[in-house]
Amino acid sequence: AGFIKSPLSQKRLTQDSVELYCEAIGNPIPEIQWWFEGNEPNETYAQLWDGARQDRVKINATYNLHSTSTIYIANLTSEDSGMYECRASNDPDRNHLSKSPKVKWIRSQANVFVIERPDITTRVISESGKLILSCNMTTYLAISGHEWIHGDKILHTDGDSSPFTSYEIEGKKEEHSGIYECVYKTSPVIKGQVNISVGPQVLAYKKSEHGNEGDTGVLICKSSSFPAVDAWVWYKNGQEVSARIINGSGRYIIKSSGNKTELRILKLSIEEDTGDYHCNATNSYGSGSAIINLRVRSRLAALWPFLGIVAEVLVLVTIIFIYEKRRKPDEALD
């Protein structure tokens, strides 16, 4: 047996996760095992199994043309620091309790260093039409710079070595709610999270919707604010709309997921469904709403313009016909 890929040493923070990868080849296909030796003076190697350490250890292995195995450890603690060893062997007596294998297990090692996660104090200050986001880290690691990230976008980067970093945003909270990250360029990288939280800022997909009588009407509201909406409620002219209670008709279907809600009205009626609809959103910081005006048209509504055009054409043809009839015939040429 021989190794194609060996696990690599890594640095991680407490509460992070780590993944080590090992790949071996041989004929027959070798078996792969994972072993661990801690940093305590008297600690010896112990084999790791899937589900070890209170189910924080996950081991996946495949044996096809060659052997591959991955060990994943979640929610790291300082006790997870140590030497991790990938062992491979294809000797038939490798697991026999009384026989010594003819070919010893080959081994590949990697160190995992778990560093205590430093504390990061975050703040959001609103003053003079600006938002000031700040992070302050109690650290013992060397800092080579900072980054501020929102979503997938890098907002700011610098090469400062200070444990304090800040970022300014022009505008109000309602315009810039969301999750912002302050990234410290250390080894390993350390991130802090700054949340700008507001009540839902609800927007109607369309402020005015039109539908034909007998068709299905669709009304949509969205809210991109942070935190996400906990509950959506629809109202029609001040009365709550629900598939179970509105007129007992069961024509209303509400689908809500996260920051979006959709109201479907089956078999639109001019008399019953025309009007204003309110979509109301609530989260832990408050509530917000938007209004959508629904207009239901008769199925014959599209026919009237056509009939008007036909009438105009008939009148024009009639006028031309009468004119041609009354016009004097042209004089015959000599």
Q: What is the pLDDT of residue 243?
A: 39
Q: In the Cβ-directed half-sphere of 146, how many Cα atoms lie within 13 Å? A: 18
Same domain, 8 and 77: yes
Report the CATH number at residue 239.
2.60.40.10
* Per-residue pLDDT reduced to its tens digit, 218-227: 999 999 899 9
Q: How far apart are CA 114 and CA 110, in angstroms?
A: 13
- State how far the alpha carbon of 178 is from the alpha carbons of 36, 197, 257, 279, 317, in Å: 41, 7, 18, 22, 66
- Residues lower than pLDDT 50 in the chain: 243-245, 247
Which of 133, 161, 196 is the endpoint of a domain? 196
How many domains is the chain built from?
A: 3
Beginning with the edge strand found earlier in the chain, give each strand of the sheet holding 146-150 in spatial order.
153-158, 146-150, 178-184, 190-196
The angle subtended at Cα 194 by Cα 193 and Cα 200, nearest 5°, is 120
Full residue range of the structural domain in which residue 280 is found = 200-297
Which of 115, 142, 158 is the endpoint of a domain? 115
Which of 135, 163, 196 is the endpoint of a domain? 196
Q: What is the pLDDT of residue 247?
A: 44
User: 139 lies in a domain?
Assistant: yes
Q: Supply the pTM of this predicted model.
A: 0.71
Same domain, 10 and 88: yes
Same domain, 266 and 216: yes
Q: What is the pLDDT of residue 249?
A: 60
Q: What is the pLDDT of residue 245?
A: 39
